[in-house]
Amino acid sequence: MPELPGNPPQVTRAAKGSIIDVVEPQIRELLEQRPQMPATDFAERIGWDRGLTMLKERVRELRPAYRPADPASRTV
């Protein structure tokens, strides 16, 4: 878009990542070890000192990939 005289220049910045992105590798490592561990335990183990909602949402999002297959399930 061309700049018009008298208007400030347009600045485009890259989107910032979420603070939870920084600790996601630690969350994934813990999920590999204990996929049923509650999110509050994740918070304690990784030193999470922010709100739990964001952490719980990310754990909820990632956990299904780390759960073992249900042996009683007939859909394989």
pLDDT digits (tens, 9 = 90+) for 2-19: 556 677 888 888 777 889
- pLDDT on residue 1: 54
Report domain extents, the chain: 19-66
Closest CA to 58 of 44, 75, 39: 39
Note the pLDDT tens digit of each residue in 34-59.
Answer: 999 999 999 999 999 999 999 999 99
Length in residues, the chain: 76
pTM above 0.75, yes or no: no
SS3 state of residue 12: coil
Question: Average per-residue pLDDT in the chain?
Answer: 88
